[in-house]
């Protein structure tokens, strides 16, 4: 149920849905079980313009807006939230290069990013600084026309498989004003990775620590000026929060669809499960939660496109509300399957596992409340 879409937006959504149905959904359970990172499939999606969604057309992207991105990521996540979520991270990195890079940086990096011949990872979180991102400690010391990096990032999606790492590093004083953003290429000497983490979900993308031991990165690889890195990182996260909420919506929609199909076939006490009013009410609440979430998410996406002063607050609200609501819908869908919902072959338990982390990453939902509260109190 998506209202207010124009013809082009409907076509974009349908294109992404068809790609997910044909190229992602049939393999999602296998990729999860074998921890396969489907690079070839991601590059096929890139061939349809889904790796540079809001990179400007003159930079080689598709030049779409955040509402179109939300439609794409929701549709892809119906096939697999994990694959859709990684593509959203890559898009965030590509946008950061387009938005903050120099002409030379855009010409150098964006052709590979928009085709996913160059895969990108976003490196902000550290072992000792998660929610308190401004306390990051990875140092970048100036040495002529290079920075020399020492430190470690944690929980980095795509690490080890990516070709480019968008890294927030400390070039100056303590706090947010001492942070800069540099692009670290995957073959840089001194760059190494931890083991692929064993995770509850998101198994179809690798998650590793990223370590810097005397990495020499050209100053020419810095995005923006020194000290602008924290602002750049946070601006990327506004869009990332919209995207991860959209991925939650897609996963929850898939779980609801599976529950409806199962309940239409399953009989108990001489009737289909869909004949029981108590279960009908639960389905109605699940559908209402998804429709309300989708409506508000699209509102936040439009605010971000319009550069509204309230955009950051609305993105935080949407991320918190949608990821919480979508996880609950997926969890209810598992419950409606009874014991079968706990079995891997039905696909619902995978969705529950995948969606749980969406309440943590791109800023925990507790931090989203902090952002909203500060905006509310500061406006008085």
List active site positions.
Answer: 362
Query: Is 110 in contact with 53 (CB distance < 8 Å)?
Result: no
Beta bridge partners of 13: none
Cα distances (Å, whole numbers) of residue 88 to 128, 147, 210, 242, 364:
25, 28, 20, 10, 17
Q: SS3 sequence, the chain?
A: CCCCCCHHHHHHHHHHHHHHHHHHHHHHHHHHHHCCCCHHHHHHHHHCCCCCCCCCHHHCCCCCCHHHHHHHHHHHHHHCHHHHHHHHHHHHHHHHHHHHCCHHHHHHHHHHHHHCCCCEEEECCECCECCCHHHCCCEEEEECCEEEEEEEEEEEECCCCCCEEEEEEECCCCCHHHEEEEEEECCCCCEEECCCCCCCCCCCCCEEEEEEEEEEEEHHHEECCCCCHHHHHHHHHHHHHHHHHHHHHHHHHHHHHHHHHHHHHCEECCEEHHHCHHHHHHHHHHHHHHHHHHHHHHHHHHHHHCCCCCHHHHHHHHHHHHHHHHHHHHHHHHHHCHHHHHCHHHCHHHHHHHHHHHHCCCCCHHHHHHHHHHHHHHCC
Are β-strands 146-157 and 139-143 bridged in parallel, bridged antiparallel, or unpaired?
A: antiparallel
Q: Phi and psi for 214 in degrees, rounded to 5?
A: 75, 30
């Amino acid at each position: 149920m998506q209202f207010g879409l124009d013809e082009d937006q409907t076509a974009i959504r349908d294109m992404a849905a068809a790609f997910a149905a044909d190229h992602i959904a049939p393999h999602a359970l296998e990729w999860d079980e074998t921890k396969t990172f489907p690079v070839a499939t991601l590059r096929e999606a890139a061939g349809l313009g889904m790796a540079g969604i809001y990179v400007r057309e003159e930079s080689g992207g598709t030049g779409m807006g955040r509402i179109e991105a939300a439609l794409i990521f929701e549709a892809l996540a119906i096939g697999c939230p994990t694959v859709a979520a990684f593509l959203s991270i890559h898009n965030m990195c590509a946008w950061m290069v387009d938005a903050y890079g120099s002409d030379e940086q855009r010409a150098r990096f964006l052709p590979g990013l928009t085709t996913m011949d160059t895969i990108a990872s976003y490196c902000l979180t550290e072992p000792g600084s998660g929610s308190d991102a401004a306390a990051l400690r990875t140092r970048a010391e100036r040495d002529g026309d290079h920075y020399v990096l020492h430190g470690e990032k944690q929980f980095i999606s795509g690490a080890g498989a990516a070709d480019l790492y968008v890294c927030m590093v400390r070039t100056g004083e303590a706090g947010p004003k001492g942070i800069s953003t540099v692009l670290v290429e995957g073959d840089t000497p001194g760059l190494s990775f931890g083991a692929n983490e064993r995770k509850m979900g998101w198994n179809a993308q690798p998650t590793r620590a990223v370590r810097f031991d005397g990495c020499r990165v050209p100053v020419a690889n810095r995005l923006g000026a020194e000290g602008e890195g924290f602002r750049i990182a946070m601006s990327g996260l506004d869009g990332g929060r919209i995207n991860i909420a959209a991925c939650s919506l897609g996963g929850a929609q898939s779980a609801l669809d599976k529950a409806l199909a199962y309940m239409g076939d399953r009989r108990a006490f001489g009737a289909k499960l869909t004949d029981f009013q108590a279960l009908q009410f639960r389905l109605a609440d699940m559908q209402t939660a998804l429709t309300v979430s989708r409506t508000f998410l699209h509102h936040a996406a439009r605010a971000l496109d319009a550069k509204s002063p309230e955009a950051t607050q609305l993105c935080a609200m949407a991320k918190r509300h949608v990821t919480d609501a979508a996880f609950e819908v997926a969890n209810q869908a598992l419950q409606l399957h009874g014991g079968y919902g706990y079995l891997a072959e039905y696909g619902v338990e995978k969705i529950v596992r995948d969606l749980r982390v969406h309440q943590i990453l791109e800023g925990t939902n507790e931090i989203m409340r902090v952002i909203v509260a500060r905006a509310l109190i500061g406006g008085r």
